[in-house]
Homo-oligomer: A and B are copies of this chain.
Amino acid sequence: MELCLKQIGSRSKYVKVATRHCQLPKGHSGSCDEFPYLKHLQTVASKVANKVKRDSTMTTGAAWKSTDAGPNRILRWVMLLNDEELMSYGLNMQGLKPQVVAKLREKAATYDDCVNVAKKLTWYVYQMPLAPRPPNDIKEYLESHFGEMQAGSTVCGVCRLPLSFELFEQAKRGSAPIETCHLDPRIHNAVNVRFAHRECNIAQGDKSLEEFYSWIKGILSRAGKL
């Protein structure tokens, strides 16, 4: 599917870092839209649509609420800038703790990767058990990117158990039972991203999924449980 990709205006001060683009099909009617495939979810489950946008485009910020620890969330592509460039935006990386800097830098991703992650996550959302059915145009749009969708087929990226859409509803401040996960936590792109149970994502930690599987296999072996 060829996309419009016309530049979308923005009043964000970070507009110079990455220009945003219309993701509608080329030759579409009506106005341009950066997240057209989220329109339906925005109506029926706005929390989920917002989570997809946020997880795709922003760094996480769980532990960074205090002023000395740094920004809470920031656009992932802004984290591609070097310290000097960030300083010109008022972001003093050298004033942050080294662990915080490492965490922020690890979350860096290009604008295009973030956009594709948002699409991929939406593709997974609609395939969750108990998810709303996507309108046909959105279904076709997402399938043209990532292949055929099968209702109810989305499983946790870590433990492989079915991941119910209802888990989104149970989200509490700071402890949603469902999180975005990465096969390799250091790579934020469409191929590498999944949803996972919070406890699974926490257990995986900063290991790649393959490292995690090897690690727990070693544990079971040493504990005499294999």
Interface residue ranges, A against B (CB under 8 Å): 99, 158-161, 175, 199-200, 202-203, 205, 213, 215-220, 222-223, 225-226
**In the complex, how many angstroms separate the beta carbon of A42 from the nearest chain B beta carbon?**
30
A209 (CB) vs chain B CBs: closest residue: B223
The answer to whether A220 and B213 touch (CB under 8 A), given A203-B203, A205-B203, is yes
Residues on the B chain within 8 Å of A158, using CB = 219
In the complex the two chains form, is B205's CB within 8 Å of A160's CB? no
Give the CA-CA distance A220 to B213 in the complex, in Å.
7
Name the distance in Å between A199's Cβ and chain B's nearest Cβ.
Answer: 6
CB distance from A211 to the nearest CB of B (A): 11
Other-chain contact of A225, B99, B161, B202, B217 (Cβ < 8 Å)? B217
Closest to A172 in B: B99
User: When the two chains form the complex, which single residue of B159, B203, B205 contacts A218, counting CB atoms closer than 8 Å?
Assistant: B159
Is A161's CB under 8 angstroms from B203's CB? no
> Which residue on chain B has the smallest CB distance to residue A213?
B225
Residues of chain B within 8 A of A99, CB atoms compared: 175
A selection of 5 A-B contacts at a CB cut-off of 8 Å is A159-B215, A161-B222, A202-B205, A213-B219, A216-B220
Nearest neighbor of A63 in chain B, beta-carbon distance: B174
Question: What are the residues of chain B within 8 A of A160 when measuring CB–CB?
Answer: 219, 222-223
In whole angstroms, what is the CA distance A219 to B199 when docked?
12
Look across to chain B and name the residue whose beta carbon is closest to the beta carbon of A206: B199
In Å, the complex CA distance between A205 and B198 comes to 11
| 6 pairs of A and B residues whose beta carbons are closest in the complex | A160-B222, A203-B203, A216-B216, A159-B219, A213-B225, A199-B205
Having A202-B202, A216-B219, one finds 20 other A-B pairs with CB under 8 Å, namely: A158-B219, A159-B222, A160-B219, A160-B222, A160-B223, A199-B205, A200-B219, A202-B205, A203-B203, A203-B205, A203-B216, A213-B219, A213-B220, A213-B223, A213-B225, A216-B216, A216-B220, A217-B220, A217-B225, A217-B226
